[in-house]
Amino acid sequence: MELSDLKYSPDHEWVAVDGDIMTVGITDYAADALGDVVFVDIPETGSDVQSGSAVGEVESTKSVSDLFSPVTGTVCEVNEAVSESPELVNSDPFGQGWLFKVSGGQLAEDLMDRDAYLEITTK
């Protein structure tokens, strides 16, 4: 997966679109800002998510942050590996650290490309 092919939310989530499946995770910027992730609460398979709504939490040694969905649709898969090893969010946020997948959904309107996202993270 190329980082330039992803869409990014202002809340620091990323989305990879593959057909009608959208994979969601948090960005490397968010993972670095959080510090060591120790627990991830993600939506269950079969649950409906709404873009812009809090759908879970990411807990680190520093803080607890809400996880916002950058897509609307039905969760079709969750990353069980992250539930068992939340540190994957830090070590591989764009790979093994993905959080959940949504099918038949719709992207949020405020998503950005990589360049626009990098602009807001360097201010």
CA distances from 101 to 48, 67, 92, 120 (A): 11, 14, 17, 25
- Render pLDDT for 27-59 as a digit per residue (tens, 0 to 9): 999 999 999 999 999 999 999 999 999 999 999
Report the pLDDT averaged over residues 65-84: 96
- 23-27 average pLDDT score: 97
CATH fold label, 3-106: OB fold (Dihydrolipoamide Acetyltransferase, E2P) (2.40.50)
Residue 21: closest CA among 111, 98, 113:
98
Quote the DSSP letter at residue 97: T
pLDDT at position 123 over 80? no
Look over the chain and give the mean of its residue pLDDT values, rounded to a whole number. 94
Of 27 and 2, the one with more pLDDT: 27
Q: What is the pLDDT of residue 4?
A: 82
The stretch 84-113 carries a mean pLDDT of: 95
pLDDT of residue 105: 87
pLDDT confidence tier of residue 104, bands split at 50, 70 and 90 = confident
Nearest Cα to 69, choosing from 22, 4, 13?
13
Indicate the domain borders of the chain.
3-106
